[in-house]
Amino acid sequence: MPRTTAAPPGHQDTPPGTGGPAAPVGRDAEDRLLRGLLADLRRGRPALVEVGGPPGIGRSTLLGHAAALATEAGVRVAAAAASPEETGLPHGIAAQLLSQLLPGASPAGPVLPSASARPGAGHTTRPDDLCATSLSAARSRPLLLVVDDTQWADPPSLRGLQALARRLAGVPLMLLTSRNGAAAPGPYDRIEPCPLADGRSVARHVLELPPLSAEAVGRVLADTWPASVDAAFLEEAARSLDGNPALLKSVTARFVRHGWTPRTGHLADLAESTAEAVRERTVRTLPLLPAELLGVLRAIVVAGPDCTPGLMEALATGPRTPGTGRALSMLSGTGLLADGPRPALRSGAAARAVLADLDTAQREELYARAAAWAHRAALSDRAVTRMLLGSGPVGAPWAVAALRRRAAADRAAGRHTGAVRLLERALREPVPEALRVRLLTELATAVLPTRPDAASRHLYRALDPPTGAAGPVPADPGTVRARLLAAELLVACGDLPTPARIARAAAGAEPGTAEHSGLRALHAMAAALGRPDVEDGCVPLPADSWTGRPERAAEAAVAAWLTARRGEDIGSARALARAALAPGARAQVPPAVRAAAAHALVLSGDTEEARGALEEVLVCAARRDARPVAGAALLVTCLAELWGGRDSAASEALDRCAELMPARLWHPRMAPAPLALQALLDLRRGDADAAARVLETRLPVAAEAGPAWAYLLYARGRVRLAAGERDRALADLLECGRRLLARGAANPALLPWRSAAARTRDPDDPLAVRLLAEERRRSLVWGSPLALATALAPRPGGANPPGAAARARGRAAGWQYRQALVALGTAPFTGHLTVDSLLAAARPPAGPTPPHPAPASAGPHPVAPGRGPSGRGTSGLGVPGSGAPGPGIPGPTAPGLDHPGRGTPGLGTSGQGIPGPGTPGPGAAPRPEAARHAASGAPAPAARRDPWPDSARPGPARRTPRGVGRGPAPAGPQTPSTGHRPAPAPLTDAEYRVAALAADGLSNRAIAGELAVTPRTVEQHLTKTYRKLGIRGRPQLAAALERTATEEPT
């Protein structure tokens, strides 16, 4: 409470603060001063008091309290209030006061002006007689004149008040005025006493009302809510409201209106109510400011926490703009600025209110000027980008560079929302095409953790040509590299309906470059996993297209992966994969494509090489912040660890994948893959219930259309098989096989669905025999060590009868046994699967031969989980091997299933596991050409047959040509062709599947739906089949296929 005079009030008749109206909360010192001044006034001493402070501080309340005290003390009161609407009305304030001072006005109490009062109404004296009339009235009786908001007083009335103040000496008159601190007074606006008057003759005081203390705020809250107020709520209210009575009143009124209480649970409502109250106060205060100060305030808002005097002067330029120091001094009385070393508004709502009267173009231009000044002043990227977010396009390269740097820092710190805003702002700038594609790719990476669907849309935009371009247009190397990364992220994330977009991007790349090869490789991956479109214009990759140039290494990687999926040539697959992963070619291959090459090595059994390549992929993906690529590499790592029998390492890889790429971030077509691997891991641990719970996870509808659904079907079939639901397990496993074969994945090392499906039937069931025979044949054709070990597993007929091992010893070994043994002996070291382990396992047991086990129909064996009948480890499902309902069916060959060397009975003695010499598997009577190939280890030729038997399809069986049906007949002696017809050209697997379904009478559209391809693809396959078989159409197709199945290949 600063004073301008040192003269204390005179003797007081009544102690201050005793009796009369209660003082406003927190204004006890002011109340004591006013009581003393009124007591002196009654003894004839005049006073001149001015009350100031920011808006809402309680000036009007204190003036009303003074009028009440004067009335109680017997002092006559006349009050007036100025308003902005009457500022231009001459003598407005004088008229209000004179209407109360002239004869006829009631002297009983303060007469406040009514809203209907008009200047000059009710009296005949001129309004400029204010000074004489007031002095005359005061001489007859002590008088208190109260004038509120003098900053809006009209000039004639203000001059009258100034004249009255200079004539107060010796007259019992007290002039009490108030002024809003937001409106700085002009040089001639002050109301001062006569400079020649003695300081003791006129008491002069200027009261600057301070904010309410925390204790005072607590008293207001306690008066509103009689119940106790939470200490945390009180502390937050005192801090956020700045002790402003008007804000406090507004907030308490809103709380009462909504029925809220001052409890900790309503702190969020307190913050919202405070922001709204501050905004309303700001809106009421802004009209008080002159245009020059309003421009300075806008500059403060735009500069924000980086406000400097230079920036304020650069933004708030004008002919009458005051200096920085004087402007801040003038604004300090408005209550809009917060305390601190830099000028800033108290809340964001207030800052928005300051700029609310500007249109969009004006605001953007103001922010653009601020950003340009900040760039020239070398402010931080945080300051520059904050200003750029509010501006329009500035058309300068430094703007995009600053936005990208700040976005990269936000992504590294995990602030993805901020990075998204920065990159979206950067895309508004005019940038070259290469930079546009890079920005879209970075934006997709930033938005992926929060909105994966939006990330896909941004990547689509990156692959699409510029707006207005007709067809593929040549792109510069920078644009192609950026599109390569976008295509890689899409394929790695499982967004596979994009081969056509990738093909267009490849068409714009220069042939022979690493980028062109990478785009072709990604297109081949998307086409193999999704639904290929023959009209996309991208020529499929031939397996032998790689010429040894490092720039073509990406195509070699995908060729290796496709070859491994087909299970045709393990030597070629290994060579291509190793060439793509060689140090000289590694840098030319996108990481996602290198992960595909590593998957090919996993399928070939070279898990050590695959793990090393995958670690390098993870490092590269982390450096580029490519989450989908890292997630795909970790999924392949999990497969590799499962191949090697390292369950803990596989579980760790899957956990890392879930941390980097949660299930919600994968494309719906890829979402089932982590769930399927987790379920298979739980099965390996023996926890079938946990596996079932994992598979109950809700998935999007589009998940069933993706390649990962086959993995989930396989895992679900295994879980249902462990639960004894054989029919449902068989349906899942056969559907899994159908989906894999429709995409050209015939390699049993990928998923051993045939042997798993055979476990759902009795060992002597024809379907089980045919499925196992086909899986053994394809395993031997593929030739990986693990697949070959599976080929030596026991036949489905259960354990051999007692003495079979002894009788088998001394016989000549069957061609399958010799072929697999030679292949294993020449294969590279793969851990426990070596020829030594097989030879050791083939030795006769030291103890007596165990008794004949129960037949498969008797149900699971009553053995403890994790131990087989011979004491060796099992799958933990209660039965030896992998939880099959009956013994003797061979163990699986892929992740999630026990395999030889992990406690599976498939590597027991020759009588209990490996078929001994002369003891071939089911239908294993060697054909003549198979015997010729036995010593060399080459795979025996076999006629192509569709792997779907009639009995495996739901519903009534269709009549099919002999040897054509939906599955191969059990292997057996083949009747050589006796005719002289030249052998037709061999059909591919895809052509044979389409031809077999067409021979059954299915339409092209039905075949397309069955194999998940387009009708045009079916037409092309049939056209090639007709040409190779030398027939004219469908009527001759069944007979031609029957001849092909019975003819002996040369």
State the Cα–Cα distance between residues 743 and 737, nearest whole angstrom: 10
State the Cα–Cα distance between residues 172 and 216, nearest whole angstrom: 34
Q: Is the pLDDT of residue 934 over 60?
A: no
Q: Which of 674-688, 908-922, 1010-1024 has the lowest mean pLDDT?
A: 908-922
pTM: predicted TM-score of the whole model, two decimal places: 0.64
User: What does the pLDDT read at residue 767?
Assistant: 92
Q: Which of 631, 706, 635 is nearest to 668 (CA)?
A: 706
pLDDT cut 70: percent of the chain above it? 72
316 vs 128 pLDDT, higher one: 316
Tokens of 67: 């009028």
pLDDT band with cut points at 50, 70 and 90 for residue 532: low
User: Please, what is the average pLDDT of the chain?
Assistant: 77
Given the DSSP bridges, would you call strands 47-53 and 76-81 parallel, antiparallel or unpaired? unpaired
User: What does the pLDDT read at residue 715?
Assistant: 96
Q: Which of 702, 704, 758, 701 is nearest to 729 (CA)?
A: 758
- 525 alpha carbon, distance to own chain's centre: 25
First to last CA, the chain: 113
- 793 alpha carbon, distance to own chain's centre: 47
Q: Which of 583, 921, 931 is nearest to 755 (CA)?
A: 921
pLDDT cut 90: percent of the chain above it? 42
Q: HSE (CB half, 13 Å, CA atoms) of 4?
A: 17
Burial (CB count <10 Å: 0-12, 13-18, 19+), residue 962: exposed
pLDDT band with cut points at 50, 70 and 90 for residue 180: confident
Tokens of 810: 């001394």
Residues 6+ apart with CB under 8 A from 239: none
At residue 726, the 3 state secondary structure works out as helix
Q: What is the largest CA-CA distance in the chain?
A: 146
What number is the average pLDDT over the span 258-266?
90
Q: Which residues pair with 143 in a beta bridge?
A: 76, 173
User: What does the pLDDT read at residue 290?
Assistant: 80
The secondary element (H helix, E strand) that includes residue 762 is none
- Per-residue pLDDT tens for 324-366? 777 777 777 677 787 777 888 877 888 888 888 889 999 999 9
- 199 alpha carbon, distance to own chain's centre: 73
What phi-psi label fits residue 615: left (phi over 0), alpha (psi between -120 and 50 degrees) or beta? alpha
State the Cα–Cα distance between residues 712 and 671, nearest whole angstrom: 10
Q: Is the pLDDT of residue 469 over 60?
A: no
The secondary element (H helix, E strand) that includes residue 156 is helix 155-165
Tokens of 619: 């490092």
What number is the average pLDDT over the span 816-840?
49
User: What does the pLDDT read at residue 796?
Assistant: 43
Q: Is the pLDDT of residue 540 over 80?
A: no
Question: Any idea which residue has 């006829």 for tokens?
Answer: 104
State the Cα–Cα distance between residues 476 and 437, nearest whole angstrom: 12
State the Cα–Cα distance between residues 541 and 521, nearest whole angstrom: 8
161 near 175, Cβ under 8 Å? yes
- Per-residue pLDDT tens for 749-805? 999 999 999 999 998 899 999 999 899 899 989 988 776 666 555 544 433 333 444
User: What does the pLDDT read at residue 200?
Assistant: 77
User: What does the pLDDT read at residue 729?
Assistant: 96
State the Cα–Cα distance between residues 791 and 718, nearest whole angstrom: 20
User: What does the pLDDT read at residue 496?
Assistant: 77
State the Cα–Cα distance between residues 100 and 113, nearest whole angstrom: 8
Q: Packing angle between helix 553-566 and helix 570-580, nearest 10 degrees? A: 150
- 359 alpha carbon, distance to own chain's centre: 34
Tokens of 785: 């060590």
What count of other Cβ atoms lies within 10 Å of the Cβ of residue 15? 10
pLDDT band with cut points at 50, 70 and 90 for residue 17: very low
- Per-residue pLDDT tens for 581-634? 998 888 889 999 999 999 999 999 999 999 999 999 999 999 989 999 999 999
Q: Is the pLDDT of residue 949 over 80?
A: no
659 vs 106 pLDDT, higher one: 659
Q: Domain 950-1046: give its CATH code.
A: 1.10.10.10
Residues 6+ apart with CB under 8 A from 780: 787, 788, 791, 816, 819, 820, 823, 939, 940
- Per-residue pLDDT tens for 209-220? 999 999 999 999
203 vs 8 pLDDT, higher one: 203
| Residue burial 857-892, b: 16+ Cβ < 10 Å; e: rest | eeebbeeeeeebbbeeebbbbbbbbbbbbbbbbbbb
Question: Where do runs of H (alpha helix) occur along 391-451?
Answer: 397-412, 416-426, 433-447
CA distances 43 to 49, 472, 596, 732, 923, Å, are: 17, 99, 102, 106, 130
In the chain, domain spans: 28-208, 214-284, 291-338, 432-667, 668-745, 768-843+863-942, 950-1046
pLDDT band with cut points at 50, 70 and 90 for residue 410: very high
State the Cα–Cα distance between residues 892 and 722, nearest whole angstrom: 14
Tokens of 1046: 């019975």
pLDDT band with cut points at 50, 70 and 90 for residue 62: very high
The secondary element (H helix, E strand) that includes residue 144 is strand 143-148
At residue 175, the 3 state secondary structure works out as strand
State the Cα–Cα distance between residues 745 and 741, nearest whole angstrom: 5
User: What does the pLDDT read at residue 126?
Assistant: 56
Q: Which of 1004, 1014, 892 is nearest to 500 (CA)?
A: 1014
State the Cα–Cα distance between residues 487 and 496, nearest whole angstrom: 10
How many residues in total does the chain contain? 1050
CA distances 990 to 415, 950, 987, Å, are: 49, 19, 8
The DSSP secondary structure of 586-637, one letter per residue, reads: HTTS-HHHHHHHHHHHHHTT-HHHHHHHHHHHHHHHHHHT-HHHHHHHHHHH
Topology of 28-208 in CATH? Rossmann fold (3.40.50)
pLDDT band with cut points at 50, 70 and 90 for residue 822: low
Q: Which CATH class is domain 432-667?
A: mainly alpha
Q: Which CATH class is domain 214-284?
A: mainly alpha
What phi-psi label fits residue 918: left (phi over 0), alpha (psi between -120 and 50 degrees) or beta? left
CA distances 185 to 91, 439, 692, 710, Å, are: 19, 53, 79, 81
CA angle 990, 993, 995 (to 5 degrees): 105
What number is the average pLDDT over the span 97-103?
86
Burial (CB count <10 Å: 0-12, 13-18, 19+), residue 388: buried
User: What does the pLDDT read at residue 891?
Assistant: 36
What number is the average pLDDT over the span 398-422?
94
Q: Which of 750, 510, 737, 730 is nearest to 642 (CA)?
A: 750
- Per-residue pLDDT tens for 988-1001? 878 888 888 888 88
State the Cα–Cα distance between residues 756 and 192, nearest whole angstrom: 103
